[in-house]
Each structure stands twice: as C-alpha cells, then as structure tokens.
C-alpha cells in the first residue's frame, strides 16, 4: 500500500463516521491494524467479485472462504474498534485468523473431506467445531445476543432432544455427526443462506456502496426535493420518495435510515413536524426499500434460491404491494400535514429535479442495465456483477473524460467506452475486465484520476464492511436450518399450524404474523424470514396459500418487525437523529405502515394483488379486470383506514367518525360476502359528509353563510 493509500486507510473512521454497521462503531480502526483491516476488506471484496465473475472454484470452497473472510474481518474490527487492551486485541485477531484458516482448510482439503464423509479425522472435528463456535461468537458480537441464543437453542436441541417428551423427542445424534452436519455439510453453516450471501447479496451491497460514492444518494435527494418538496407536507414527502428511490439500490432498511435520515429528519422538524413523527416517516419509508424492486432486500435473493424461481418472479410479486406501500406513506403524510396545517417548501428553495437528473443521468445507466439483465433472464449474480462493473467504468471514465477538451471528443470517448463495456454480453467478461484495468492504469497517471481510484478502493472496503451483518446472520441461521433438516422438528410445527388452519386460516395467518413479529424483536429480517418460512411456509401451502404468496407474507412481517414496538430496530436507529424516543417513533411508524400490515393478508385471500393466480372474477371478466379491481379495493380500503388513524380528511374527524372510517376501510380489505359493497357505500357516505363539512367551515372562515 502506498503512503497515500495508507494515510487514506488511516482516516476511514472519519470518512465513514455517518455509516454505522450494526453492533460495531464506524470505520476500520486507527494505526497499522486499521490499515490491515482495510486491506482485508478490499481483499474480501475482490475475492468475492472474482469468484462471481469466473466461478472457477467449487461452491463448497466459495462458501467456506466467504465465512472465513467474514470471521477474519469481523473479529479484526472487534479487535480494532471494541477491544480496549492489547491482550484483548491479540485475542480477537487470533480468533479472526483462526476463522479464516477454517476456510483455507476447506479449500486445501476439499477433495479429502468429500472422500472421508462420515469418517472425519480428529483435525476435521476440531476445525468443524471451531467454525461453529466462531460463527456463534461473531453473531453475538455484531448482531447481539438474541439471534445467537435462538441458534444456540436449536443446536442444543440436536444434542439433548432425545430426552424431551413427545412430540419434541428425536432419535439422538452423536457429536461427530452434528459437527459434520453443521461444520462441513451444505445444510449447516455452509447452507443456502451463506451461498446466497456469497453469490448475490455481497455483490449488491458493494454495488450500492459504489453508487453512493458516485453521488446517487445526492441525486435521489435532489430529485425528490425538487419533485415533491413544494407539495403539502413537502419535507416528509421528500423523505418518502428519496427512501423509495434509495430502496432501488440498497436493501438495508436500517442503513437507509442512517444515510438518508441525516438529511430528511432535520428538514421535517424544521418545517413543523413532531420529532417522533419525522423519525417514524423516515423509518417507515426506509424499511419499505426492502420490498421496492428492482433491487429488493437480501431476502428476495434467498427467496428466489429457496423457491427455485427466477428473481424476476419475486419482483413481479412485489411490485404492486411496493407501490401501494409507498402510496399509503404519501397519503398518511399528506393527511398529517393537512391536519397540522403544514405547507410545502418555498419554490425558490427547491432544486430543479429534471436539471439534477440531466446533470447526473449517467448514474442511472448502471441501474438501468441491472434492471434489464434481471428481467432478461440473467442470473442475479451475473446481473449484479455486470451492474457493478459498469458503475466502476462510469466512475473511472469520468476524470478521463474531463481532460478531453472538445465536447464532440468527449461524446466519442463515452460512446466508445460504453460500447466496449457493453460488449461483455457477446465477447465475455474478459473484455470488460480489460477495460477496467486499462482505465485504472490511465487514472494512475494524474491527480484527479488517483483520487478517483481512491474512491473505488474505499467503496470496495466499505461495501465489504456493510456486508458483515448480513453475512454473519446468514452463517449463524444455517444452524437453525441445519437443525430443522437433521431432526425433522419442522414437521411438528407444520402439523400444528395445519390443524389450526383446517378450521380457521385467518387464525393460522395471525399466528404466523405474531411469530414473525416476535422473532423480529431480536433478530434481523433475513434470519427471521429463513426461520419462519421454513416452519410456516409449507404449512400455509398445505392450507391452500400459493407458495410465493406465503413466503412474501413472512417476508413482509419480518420487515414490519423492525417498526413494531417494543424492539423496533429501524426506529431506534432514527431516534438519535430525530432526538426522540425510539418507542414514540415506533408508534408513529406502525400507524404510517398500515399498508405493510394489511397487504399480506389481502394477498393471501386475493393472490392477484401479487400478480399471482386469479379467482372467479378473472374467470368471469378477465385477469386484468380482477387485478385492477383488487388494486382499487386495496387503495380505497387502506386510504379510508388512514383517515381513521390520522383523524383528518377535509376537516378534523371526531372519534366516532374515525371509528366509522376504520370500519369502512376494514370492510373493503376483508374478503367476505357483501363486505366490499358495505365498505364502498359507507366510505362514499363518510367522504361526502367530510367534504360537506369542509365546504361549510371554509365558507364560515370567509364570512359567508354556511
């Protein structure tokens, strides 16, 4: 590393002081150990991108090395940022090195481990048991106690379940079998979640880091501010729109809160919103980013892999609910602003959204390419790798283009560079790599180019760091999945859900929802989804719920758990920015996120809301008619419910009127005989009465007879 690079690495803690990874302070740490951790993060990113682009290593080796890098970087950062004493730092670095060596061991002895399956050596058992213990400790350090305890209970069940009463009893498993299953097999730590982390999630996290470094967050904020900042409740509408846009590239709700909340929450407070409401708007909008296509939360990739369906199918199911979710956020903010008499921002203080888009339009190109590749049938790993490569080409080409004088020559340069970068689709990835290497070499020879190289280097490192919580969660939740496959305990839970649902599907759905919300109090969305979908997904399928809809049901409530009291991670992330109680923010967020609680239930009873199979209306009038009607019903029902929750439409509503609005909205949401008709008629009457009262009060204010 050059002196310049070393100095830059030394100051990472300051450069990234606003970026918080769960469980760890920001940055990489000071001094030589900070530079080492910084270098490890870059190596981690490059290794993952290399395996994604060329795929020359066996899947088991890739998974093991991914876990090895996760452990090395996690414990290295714990040593640098948390440990206070020299012995403590040495201890945690030793744990990290030991964790990395478990990946090397799987790589070096890959063939031997396959040959001696079922007959592991003492050294194999030491390595297997060691990686399990290290994953538990990494999860405890970076994610807290809850997830580690849950996984620990499942692991203990493998050892002691034979002593439990029926129906929990199993036949019993010895130490060697358990270690082999969890420490080496593809149904334990190295199972599907860690495969998805290595193959998909990591790439998209780095992709988001590069786009943020390139200025995408500023573009989204400027565009949102210019487009909706002047509307009623403008500052809060800006938060909703910018978070929705940010959700297209970043699937982390908490990261969105921290990143965009620094700008939107103070803006909302300055224009009259209560602190708790401002924090609630940001938390609700940011969590919605996980369901916003094209790049949804990491769960979407795990879902596609688990269900063995194209990623485009997940996006198709999510698109209407995502639009409804953010439309309801806009609606609730509008009602709150109307109730408080808040106006929009002055027009002269707003940027021109289209000018911002014109000035920064090249940033849209990699995102557009990513969307095209995802929907053209390419795998997410290929689409993500190519999208990331195009971002790198764009960033590296910018300082070179700036040194070209005449405008026509700059256009020729960009056209030639774009054609060379796009040719990967026909020539292969080697040409794209050659283009990037050539740009790196060219940028190394002048000052602005070297600064651009530093931006790319920092984005690689920060992307790897941002991926740690997700990766470690995927590793430790493999213990839970491994327990389910080894012991068969999932069938007991499934039978219980089915027995309840035979008489009442709604009750089964409520129990599944409560399971998601309770689990979500202590663990992130990814392990929440993996655990609950493994248990409840098959049960709901047996009860007639389409498989994709049942998994989306679990996914939605895993997200809602981060907004639901008492432990609402997204809301507590917004609390220090809003300078308000996390609990108060959470209560506002639950009210704002009404759509997130309603849509999953509606989709179960009317799957066409997620563009799945139609019902009787589709058979009678055609599928488009059913989809349009269901969307209309959802909008009307959630809109009326929002009026009841906020207590305002055209004028303030009394408590009785609010209850009637809630009843009308719920009637439209339900799928029972005559409920649609009752809800629609009641809603029209209530809206008409509100409108009439609003006209009367307006005439009184003008001194006219009512």
Average pLDDT, stretch 608-632?
A: 82
Where do the H-state alpha helices sit in 423-522?
424-427, 429-443, 447-466, 468-487, 489-501, 505-520
Mean pLDDT of the chain: 82
Average pLDDT, stretch 626-642?
A: 87
Residue 555, number of CB atoms within 10 A of its CB? 29
pLDDT 10s digits, 250-288: 555 666 676 677 777 887 887 778 888 888 888 888 888
Interacting residues of 498 by C-beta distance below 8 A, sequence separation 6+: 508, 539, 542, 543
User: Which pLDDT belongs to residue 159?
Assistant: 93
The pLDDT > 70 percentage for the chain reads 91
Average pLDDT, stretch 86-101?
A: 96
In the predicted model, is pLDDT for residue 16 greater than 60?
Answer: no
Of 25-39, 78-92, 538-552, minimum mean pLDDT range? 538-552
Query: What is the distance, to the nearest Å, from the Cα of residue 643 to the centroid of all Cα atoms in its chain?
Result: 29
Of 2-16, 328-342, 370-384, 576-590, minimum mean pLDDT range? 2-16
Q: How far apart are CA 257 and CA 282, in angstroms?
A: 6
Beta pairing partners, 652: 648
Beta pairing partners, 648: 652
pTM: 0.77
Of 16-25, 327-336, 547-556, minimum mean pLDDT range? 16-25
User: Which pLDDT belongs to residue 566?
Assistant: 63
Helix (H, G, I), strand (E, B) or coil at 464: helix
Of 74-83, 92-101, 500-509, minimum mean pLDDT range? 500-509
For residues 552, 555, 560 and 561, what is the CA-based torsion angle, rounded to 10 degrees? Answer: 150
User: Which pLDDT belongs to residue 255?
Assistant: 64
Query: Torsion-angle region of residue 91: left (phi > 0), alpha (psi -120 to 50) or beta?
Result: alpha
pLDDT 10s digits, 405-459: 777 887 888 888 877 777 766 777 788 888 888 899 988 888 888 899 999 999 9
Under 8 Å between Cβ of 526 and 569: no
Confidence of residue 128 (pLDDT cuts 50, 70, 90): very high
Helix (H, G, I), strand (E, B) or coil at 24: strand
Name which of 583, 682, 696 is nearest 637 in CA terms. Answer: 682
**Structure-token pair, residue 307:** 């269900």
User: Which pLDDT belongs to residue 17?
Assistant: 32
Please tell me which of 26-30, 619-623, 698-702 the model is most confident about, judged by mean pLDDT. 26-30
User: Which pLDDT belongs to residue 20?
Assistant: 36
Q: How far apart are CA 111 and CA 442, in angstroms?
A: 42
Q: Which residue has the higher pLDDT, 488 or 11?
A: 488
In the predicted model, is pLDDT for residue 506 greater than 60?
Answer: yes
Q: How far apart are CA 265 and CA 271, in angstroms?
A: 10
Average pLDDT, stretch 109-113?
A: 94
In the predicted model, is pLDDT for residue 69 greater than 90?
Answer: yes
Phi/psi for 168 (5° steps) reads -85, -15
Helix (H, G, I), strand (E, B) or coil at 21: strand
Helix (H, G, I), strand (E, B) or coil at 652: strand
Rg (CA), the chain: 26
In the DSSP assignment, the letter for residue 200 is I
Average pLDDT, stretch 577-602?
A: 82
In the predicted model, is pLDDT for residue 189 greater than 90?
Answer: yes
Please tell me which of 113-117, 502-506, 539-543, 649-653 the model is most confident about, judged by mean pLDDT. 113-117
**Domain coordinates of the chain in residue numbers?**
628-705
Where do the H-state alpha helices sit in 308-403?
311-340, 353-360, 364-375, 380-402
User: Which pLDDT belongs to residue 248?
Assistant: 62
Dihedral sign from CA coordinates of 669, 670, 671, 677? negative
Measuring CA to CA, how many Å separate 170 from each of 209, 352, 486, 586? 46, 66, 10, 41
Helix (H, G, I), strand (E, B) or coil at 199: helix
User: Which pLDDT belongs to residue 304?
Assistant: 84
Name which of 260, 248, 243, 203 is nearest 368 in CA terms. Answer: 248
- Opening angle at CA 237, ends 231 and 240, nearest 5: 160
pLDDT 10s digits, 650-684: 888 888 888 999 898 888 887 777 788 888 898 89
Omega within 30 of 0 (cis) for the link into 329: no
User: Which pLDDT belongs to residue 14?
Assistant: 35
In the DSSP assignment, the letter for residue 290 is G
User: Which pLDDT belongs to residue 6?
Assistant: 37
């Amino acid at each position: 590393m050059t002196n310049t690079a070393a100095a830059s690495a030394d100051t990472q803690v300051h450069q990234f002081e606003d970026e918080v990874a769960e469980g760890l302070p920001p940055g990489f740490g000071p001094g030589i150990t900070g530079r080492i951790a910084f270098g490890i993060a870059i190596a981690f990113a490059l290794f993952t991108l290399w395996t994604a682009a060329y795929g020359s290593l066996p899947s088991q080796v890739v998974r093991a090395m991914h876990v090895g890098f996760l452990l090395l970087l996690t414990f290295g950062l714990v040593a640098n940022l948390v440990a206070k004493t020299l012995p403590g730092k040495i201890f945690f670095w030793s744990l990290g090195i030991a964790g990395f060596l478990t990946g090397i061991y799987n790589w070096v002895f890959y063939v031997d481990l396959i040959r001696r399956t079922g007959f592991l050596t003492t050294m194999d058992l030491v390595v297997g048991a060691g990686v399990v213990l290290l994953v538990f400790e990494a999860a405890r350090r970076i994610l807290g106690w809850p997830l580690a305890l849950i996984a620990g209970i499942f692991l203990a069940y493998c050892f002691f379940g034979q002593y439990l009463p029926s129906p929990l009893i199993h036949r019993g498993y010895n130490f060697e079998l358990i270690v082999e299953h969890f420490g080496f097999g593809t149904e334990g730590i190295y199972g599907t979640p860690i495969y998805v982390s290595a193959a998909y999630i990591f790439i998209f996290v780095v992709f988001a880091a590069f786009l943020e470094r390139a200025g995408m967050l500023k573009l989204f904020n400027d565009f949102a501010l210019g487009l909706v900042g002047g509307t009623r409740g403008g500052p809060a509408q800006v938060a909703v729109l910018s978070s929705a846009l940010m959700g297209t590239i970043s699937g982390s709700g908490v990261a969105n809160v921290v990143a965009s909340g620094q700008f939107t929450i103070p803006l909302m407070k300055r224009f009259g919103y209560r602190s708790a409401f401002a924090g609630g708007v940001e938390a609700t909008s940011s969590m919605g980013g996980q369901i916003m296509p094209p790049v949804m939360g990491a769960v979407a990739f795990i879902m596609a892999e688990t269900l063995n369906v194209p990623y485009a199918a997940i996006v198709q199911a999510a698109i209407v609910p995502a639009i409804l979710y953010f439309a309801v956020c806009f609606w609730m903010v509008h009602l709150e602003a109307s109730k408080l008499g808040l106006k929009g921002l002055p027009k002269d203080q707003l940027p021109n959204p289209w000018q911002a888009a014109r000035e920064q339009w090249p940033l849209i190109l990699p995102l557009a390419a990513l969307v095209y590749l995802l929907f053209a049938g390419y795998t997410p790993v290929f689409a993500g790798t190519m999208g990331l490569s195009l971002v790198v080409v764009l960033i590296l080409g910018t300082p070179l283009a700036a040194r070209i004088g005449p405008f026509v020559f700059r256009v020729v340069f960009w056209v030639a560079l774009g054609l060379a970068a796009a040719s990967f689709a026909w020539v292969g990835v080697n040409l794209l790599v050659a283009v990037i290497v050539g740009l790196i070499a060219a940028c190394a020879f002048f000052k602005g180019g070297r600064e651009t190289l530093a931006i790319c280097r920092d984005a690689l490192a920060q992307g790897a760091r941002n991926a740690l919580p997700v990766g470690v969660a995927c590793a430790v939740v493999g213990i839970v999945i491994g327990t389910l496959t080894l012991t068969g305990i999932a069938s007991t839970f499934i039978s219980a859900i089915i027995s309840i649902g035979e008489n009442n599907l709604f009750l089964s759905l409520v129990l599944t929802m409560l399971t998601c919300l309770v689990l979500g109090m202590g663990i992130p969305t990814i392990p929440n989804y993996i655990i609950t979908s493994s248990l409840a997904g098959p049960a709901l399928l047996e009860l007639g719920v389409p498989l994709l809809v049942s998994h989306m049901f679990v996914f939605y409530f895993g997200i809602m758990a981060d907004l639901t009291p008492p432990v609402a991670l997204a809301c507590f992330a917004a609390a220090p920015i809003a300078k308000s109680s996390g609990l108060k923010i959470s209560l506002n967020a639950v009210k704002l996120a009404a759509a997130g609680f309603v849509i999953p239930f509606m989709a179960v009873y009317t799957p066409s809301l997620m563009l799945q199979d139609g019902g009787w209306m589709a058979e009678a009038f055609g599928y488009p008619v059913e989809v349009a009607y269901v969307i209309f019903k959802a909008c009307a029902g959630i809109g009326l419910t929002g009026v009841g929750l906020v207590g305002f439409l055209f004028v303030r509503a009394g408590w009785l009127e609010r209850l009637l609005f809630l009843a009308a909205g719920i009637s439209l949401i339900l799928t029972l005989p005559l409920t649609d008709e009752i809800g629609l008629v009641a809603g029209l009457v209530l809206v008409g009465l509100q409108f009439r009262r609003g006209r009367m009060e307006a005439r009184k204010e003008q001194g006219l007879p009512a």
